[in-house]
Structure 1
Amino acid sequence: MSRRLANLGGMAALALVVGLAAAPGWAADENDYPTDARVDYVFGCMAANGQTRESLEKCSCSVDQLAAILPYDKYVQASTILSMRQGIGQRANEFKSTKIFDDKVADLRRAQAEAEIRCYRG
């Protein structure tokens, strides 16, 4: 029974995040980020910034701003490159030393910086 209640609590948090992402006035119509990608971003952001209501609001804002700036396919490409760079060996080195990959990651970093300015300092 307690496992069922724990699952309901998690589902309620997920529903809240999804509801915030789809709220009127947000960037949902301006991009193609799927809901699961938004939720994953918010959960990761909250893990890094505290599990508070304030961090939920700022992280939700951040992913919406990021999505308004950077198309989803470019976000996926940059995220994949960053993931591959964490490995070791020749394959990881190729991802670390190729200019086109640097440019894709730089685009993501610029979009994240702009989102941070808009959501955390604005």
Structure 2
Amino acid sequence: MRPILAAALLLPSLAGATPAAPANDFPTVARVEYVLECMNNHGGKQETLYQCACVIDRVGAQLAYDDYVTMSAALRYQTLEGPRGAEFRDPPGVKAMAAKYKTIQADAAKACMLRQRG
């Protein structure tokens, strides 16, 4: 039985197949940072832990981590004043990225029953 098991385990590597990358490739630290910030923005209550974790899981299911970093920065820094913020406020491509991320995040919050900040 052992030779059969060993052969079965070797078949994928012999055929050149590699396992698929996880769809949700966010580092744990990034997830924790998102959840902590989300909880803080929603009153700091423990009850929002699961909802905030749900949101970042849904966002991660739709975006690769690098895209998440770029898009969330585009949204976050649009409120920077002066010349430093111009690169986040002015270019249409950056505005579009920020808007898309805002929509993804809002849809995830709604699906996870997380009330929007008011």
Fold conserved between structures, TM > 0.5: yes
1:79 shift after superposition: 2.3
Mapped contact 2:75–2:99 kept (Cα < 8 A)? no
Kindly indicate whether residue 51 of structure 2 is the aligned counterpart of residue 85 of structure 1: no
Kindly indicate whether residue 37 of structure 2 is the aligned counterpart of residue 44 of structure 1: yes
Q: Which amino acid aligns with 2:65?
A: Y
Kindly indicate whether residue 25 of structure 2 is the aligned counterpart of residue 32 of structure 1: yes
Q: How does 1:51-70 map to 2 (within 5 A)?
A: 51-70=44-63
CA distance in 1, matches of 2:78, 2:103: 19
Identity within the alignment, %: 37
Structure 2 vs 1, CA of residues 109 and 84 (structure 1 numbering), >3 Å: closer, same or farther? closer
User: For residue 96 of structure 1, what is the aligned residue in structure 2?
Assistant: 89
Q: Choose the corresponding residue for 1:109, options 81, 90, 102.
A: 102
CA distance in 2, matches of 1:48, 1:84: 17
Higher share in helix: 1
CA distance in 2, matches of 1:112, 1:38: 14
- Aligned residues: CA RMSD: 1.7
Uncovered stretches (5+) of structure 1, i.e. residues with no partner:
1-28
Q: TM-score, normalised by structure 1?
A: 0.67
